[in-house]
Amino acid sequence: MRNLVRYAAPLAMVWLTLVGCDTLFTEQPPAGEDFESPLDGLDPETARMFAKGDENFEHVFSVDEGVGPIFNNMSCGGCHPGDGRGTPNEALVRFSMGTDLVPELGGPQLQDRAIPGSQPETLPPGADRSLRLPPPVFGVGFIEAIPVTTILANADETDTDLDSISGRPNWVTAPDFVPPTEVGGGPGLQLGRFGRKANVSSLIQQVSEAYHQDMGVTSDFLPTENENPQAGGVAVGDDVADPEIPALTVLETVVYVRFLSPPAQGERTDQVKRGEQLFEAAACASCHVPSMKTGPHAIAALNQVDVPLYSDLLLHDMGPGLADNRPDGSADGYEWKTAPLWGTRIIEDFLNGQVFFLHDGRATSIREAIQMHGGEAQPSRDNFMNLSPQEQDDLIAFIESL
């Protein structure tokens, strides 16, 4: 018996190393233990689109299928392993010259790969980099289903309550191809919800641009190839007729991410309960709002339910240490969207035991992520630092249970 125990751990390690992160599980983990399960109660047509979208998400595009001319990765899953967050290796770089965006030099992001015949973009001399770690994609249907008024209720742009915290919305313009019937679509300013600066208002935009910008795959929504202005704007090598994928493929992928269920919360031990109280007392919950309620929704699982995402989805000035100096919509170079904390419990299962936090993955533990909070979050960070070592552990155990 003892020998079995002694050998089981090293064997498991070897097995993990051999199979890598994408195939960490030999069979589907139980519901609530992964980032890949659909919400309950999907009608047959939606379930069919979800299954197609799942295939689309993992599909690795070849040059013959239209990847490029310039791109960053060949599949959604390549950047969002297991539908969770990526590592700094998959991070995207957006760039600026100080606070100026420079479309004539490329961007909004750096496409640093190209198919044969084309030239990848390089960072223009003197440009500032904004590195963005791929966030998880589960639960975005819940984020979409929270009414604008509910999100705005937490905004306090001029800090009228004098708690030093002044969350504010990112108002952005939706591209014309987003139907006005979609959340975040239509004329005028729309509330940004997606992306690390809440710079995107709708899932159709997020997914169409992922195909177009991240993979160089054109669709009915964005039918013109992305070219490299540094190479004179000529796209060579991609002979596939545009659009390379139909609107339906994009919509299936939207359905897939929209109906991905967030993982279930872990056990509420006594330590977790103590940590939860400290999380409130240290004012973490002022930005990491524990829960917001969705509005009326045709799918029962999304209809007027509490969404325990631990974010207000608003922008906060996080101080010079975390600033990228690059504006995005109405977000300035110091501001970031409060990162949702749900799913923290199982992050490392999908990244070979590693974890990366904050917009660029610079923190490799929860403690480090907290220590790097500045700006509006400085007093809250200081509250954490002033806790006893045991209390700090309790608070971290709470976050690790989410």
- Interface ranges with ligand HEC (CB under 6 A): 57, 72-73, 76, 78-80, 90, 92, 132, 134-135, 137, 140, 165, 194-196, 199, 206-207, 210-211, 214-215, 253, 257, 282-284, 286-288, 316, 318, 322, 336, 338-339, 341, 357-359, 366, 369-370, 373, 376-377, 380-381, 384, 399
Closer residue to ligand HEC in complex, CB, 17/60 = 60
* Calpha distance 368→396 (Å, rounded): 11
Among residues 344, 345, 322, the alpha carbon closest in space to that of 334 is found at 322
Min. distance of Cβ 176 from ligand HEC in angstroms? 20
Closer residue to ligand HEC in complex, CB, 50/384 = 384
Closer residue to ligand HEC in complex, CB, 30/58 = 58
Min. distance of Cβ 346 from ligand HEC in angstroms? 13
Tokens representing residue 326 in the block: 């690059």
Among residues 379, 328, 289, 380, the alpha carbon closest in space to that of 196 is found at 328
Among residues 273, 301, 243, 280, the alpha carbon closest in space to that of 380 is found at 280
User: Cα 39 vs. chain centroid, distance in angstroms?
Assistant: 19
Closer residue to ligand HEC in complex, CB, 42/132 = 132
Min. distance of Cβ 98 from ligand HEC in angstroms? 19
Angle, CA of 184, 187 and 189, to the nearest 5°: 65
Q: Tell me whether the omega of the peptide bond preceding residue 69 falls within 30 degrees of 0, making it cis.
A: yes
Closer residue to ligand HEC in complex, CB, 4/203 = 203
Closer residue to ligand HEC in complex, CB, 12/291 = 291
In the chain, the amino acid numbered 132 is R
Min. distance of Cβ 14 from ligand HEC in angstroms? 30
Closer residue to ligand HEC in complex, CB, 24/91 = 91
Among residues 328, 332, 294, the alpha carbon closest in space to that of 316 is found at 332
Can you tell me which residue has the tokens 């002044």? 166
Min. distance of Cβ 371 from ligand HEC in angstroms? 10
Min. distance of Cβ 164 from ligand HEC in angstroms? 8
Closer residue to ligand HEC in complex, CB, 206/294 = 206
Burial (CB count within 10 angstroms: exposed 0-12, middle 13-18, buried 19+), residue 230? middle
Closer residue to ligand HEC in complex, CB, 229/379 = 379
Min. distance of Cβ 236 from ligand HEC in angstroms? 22
Tokens representing residue 144 in the block: 């979409």
Q: Tell me whether the omega of the peptide bond preceding residue 243 falls within 30 degrees of 0, making it cis.
A: yes
> How far, CA to CA in Å, does 255 sit from each of 48, 80, 138, 216?
10, 16, 11, 21
The answer to whether the beta carbons of residues 93 and 70 sit under 8 Å apart is no
> How far, CA to CA in Å, does 326 sit from each of 92, 199, 201?
14, 12, 19
Min. distance of Cβ 55 from ligand HEC in angstroms? 12
Sign of the alpha-carbon torsion through 41, 23, 353, 311 = negative
Closer residue to ligand HEC in complex, CB, 125/277 = 277
Min. distance of Cβ 181 from ligand HEC in angstroms? 19
Sign of the alpha-carbon torsion through 172, 178, 180, 181 = negative
Min. distance of Cβ 82 from ligand HEC in angstroms? 13
